[in-house]
Structure formats: C-alpha cells, structure tokens
Amino acid sequence: MASAPPEVSRTTAYSRKPLHRYPWWALRFWHGMDLFSWLRLLLRNRLAVPPARWWIMASVSITSMLNSFAGVFEWFLFSDAVRRKKLKEPPLFVLGHWRSGTTMLHELLMLDPRHQCPTTYQCFAPHHFLWTGWLVPPLISFFLPKKRPMDDMAAGWDRPQEDEFALVNMGVPSPYLAWAFPNHGPVADEYLDLRNLSHADRESWKHRWLGFVKRVALANDRRIVLKSPTHTARVKTILEVFPDARFIHIVRDPLVVFPSTVRLWKSLSEVQGFQIPRENGGWIERCVLDNFVRMYECFEQDRRDIPPGRIVDLRYEDLVADPVGQMNRLYQELRLGEFAEVEPAVRAYTRNSRDYKTNKYQLPADVADRVRNRWAPFFQRYGYAGQVEDDRS
C-alpha cells in the first residue's frame, strides 16, 4: 500500500491524551442493524474482517436477526399510527460541524421538559424501540460504557443521540459507515449533503428519515430537537420536509475543531471498526478537511432560504463562558417559550460540569496553516483569529 502523502502524516501528534480503550464486550453501533442492512454492508466490503474481530461480526449477525424479527412485530403494531402521525411542533435543529459543541448544546436544550430528542436506544434500535424501549435498555445497560471513548462525556441508553445513527442501522447510506471498515476509506460521500443523489434516492432518504422522526414523536409528543453534524449540509432538504423548522448553528475555533474531529473519527474507527485501522490511514485527515469545506459551502448557500427569526448563530466559546445568558438569548430569538422554566436546570448543569477536563492539542504549524488556508471563508465569516483552545463538545 502506498504511504500517505505528507499533508496527512501527523495525526497522532495532535493530542497528548491517548485514545480511550473500549471494552471488548461493549455493543457497537452495528448491533442495531437489521439482517438485510447488515448483510449488504458485509458483502459490500467483501467480508474483509480479520480473525481478531470475527467475534464482533458473529455477534452482529445474531443481533441483526433479532432486530429484523422485532421490527416486523413493530410494523404490525404501529405502522398505521406512524403513517397518520403529525408532529405537534416543527423540530428544532442543532447544526454545526463535529466537535463544535453540538453535544453540549443538545444536552442543554434537553434540560427543558418541553423538549424531546432521539435517545441512544432509539437510534440503536430504530426498528423496534416503540415496543422494546420500556424493557430492553435495563437488560443491556451493562453492554454500554458509562463514558464516550473519545472525550469522557457521559453515555447511556437514555442520553440524547444523533439521528444519523438511526439511519445507519436502518440501512440508509451514510458517511458514518466508513467507521465500520476504516481501511477501505470514506464511503457514501454523496449522502453528506444529498445534493447529487438521484430524485428517487433523495425521496427515499426523506421518507425513511421522516418515518423515524414520526416514530420518535409517537413515543413522546413534544417538540423534537434533532442533532447530527451531517444535517448542517442538508438544510435545503430539511426545509422541504419541515418548512417551519428552527435552527441553532454553533461554531468553534477551527484550529480546535480540526484535530478534535480527526481524533473523533480515529477513535470511532478503532473502537467500532470490524478492521484494525492502519496507522497510516491518512484518509481521515483529508476527509475532515474536505467535508468541512463541502458542509459550509452547502450551509451558507442553504441558510438564505431560512426565514428571518428561524436561525440563530452561537459561538461555542460564548456558550461555555455564559451558558445561562446564551441559552436565554436562544430562547428569546427563536421564541422557544419562557426560559425561566428551564433556567434552574441550566444553572445546575453548569455547576455539575464545572470539573470536566478537556483535551489539549499540539497542532503542528504546517497543519494549522493548511487548515487556515482551506477553511479561510469560515475563519473570516465567524471571526476566528486561530487561537488554539480547549476541546469540549
């Protein structure tokens, strides 16, 4: 195999903190797939699983059959109700690149009892959570670590989760599938922004995504808050499905976002993959650089179609410095209701997370220059001088 080009050669130098080990017995994303989606993923990658990870392949094969059976049962029970379901309110979307603070913002929004979002279990078991959600999570709580492997933030079946993982387990193509077979490089790039899909494929994506959102609403009929970084490049499609949606767009110093995202993708490739990633797998750095450019070209074009008063920009640094003040501003500008009802919970969250330790990065000068050059429009538009700060998202 040819060596990686010089421009992508220093991933391991970015952070002093080693990647966390993931328990061998813990569940992976792919354990939530149905049998057809799992076999399609396996065959597309030519069963390229080394013996050291055959046990993961075998366990996913077993759970995929169970998911398919449970999914058929749920279809008989709830298909009519899902088809008729109307959302009580238009969804609220958290937009922003990976590691821009979207997780922190999502969790703050979920402190409001008027909000709901897809949980980790719902995204893990999108085929059957409507009838298994009350029973299964307590039985499998042991198989989910208490902390996320990349940043020590809390994990749990009831925690807010990205709906992109539900789509993956439903067999919808996604860039996230690259983590399953990391030595094969990026996949499903066209599903980052959906722009170059055929009409039929784009309508299929919309239909399946909307079906999942409706099922989440059927489980709990409150305003849904959706967060997936990929949605930042999909505003045009989102508005076709939810014309009255509201958006919060969070940004962060790109010189932290870049190494933190590289660390995230590398960590997920290691702990979620059916392959042992090659150390010189430089595709991750190239992919992060390229995806950011694509994402923000699409976002800046699409945001023109969002009516005034439906989108607010937020800097991560401002949110960390003054979470109460910034959340109050979001509630006022987007007309989300009385902030006073949730302010005590926000203050408590701030106190409880005060001791959270962030990752530190040593970004080589040539890599920092490359990020500034490739992402120059973002630096200019959002006022970042390129000072490296802590990593927390």
Instruction: Report whether 165 contacts 186 (CB < 8 A).
Output: no
Which band of pLDDT confidence, cut at 50, 70 and 90, is reported for residue 155? confident
Q: Flag whether 187 is in a domain.
A: yes
- What is the share, in percent, of the chain residues with pLDDT greater than 70? 88
CA end-to-end span of the chain, whole Å? 35
Cα 197 to chain centroid, rounded: 21
Q: Which domain holds residue 61?
A: 24-382
Count of the separate structural domains present in the chain: 1
Decide if pLDDT at 152 tops 80: no
Which band of pLDDT confidence, cut at 50, 70 and 90, is reported for residue 12? very low
Q: Flag whether 4 is in a domain.
A: no
Decide if pLDDT at 110 tops 80: yes
Q: Flag whether 232 is in a domain.
A: yes
Within 10 A of 303 (CB to CB), how many other CB atoms are there? 17
Residues contacting 301, CB < 8 A, separation 6+? 236
Q: Flag whether 15 is in a domain.
A: no
pLDDT recorded at residue 24:
81
Q: Flag whether 1 is in a domain.
A: no
- What CA–CA distances, in Å, run from 374 to 49, 188, 289? 35, 22, 7
Residues contacting 211, CB < 8 A, separation 6+? 82
CATH code for position 85: 3.40.50.300
Report pLDDT digits (tens) over 180-215: 999 999 999 999 999 999 999 999 999 999 999 999
Which band of pLDDT confidence, cut at 50, 70 and 90, is reported for residue 14? low
Mean pLDDT of 78-84: 96
Which band of pLDDT confidence, cut at 50, 70 and 90, is reported for residue 151? low
Decide if pLDDT at 5 tops 60: no
Q: Flag whether 114 is in a domain.
A: yes
pLDDT recorded at residue 128:
98
Q: Flag whether 197 is in a domain.
A: yes
Helix (H) or strand (E) holding 60: helix 54-84
In 3-state terms, what secondary structure has residue 42?
helix
Which band of pLDDT confidence, cut at 50, 70 and 90, is reported for residue 391? very low
Mean pLDDT of 337-357: 87
DSSP 351: H
Mean pLDDT of 133-154: 80
DSSP 205: H
Residues contacting 140, CB < 8 A, separation 6+? 27, 157
Cα diameter, the chain: 59
Q: Flag whether 17 is in a domain.
A: no
- What CA–CA distances, in Å, run from 4 to 7, 39, 146, 280, 309? 8, 31, 35, 6, 46
pLDDT recorded at residue 8:
35
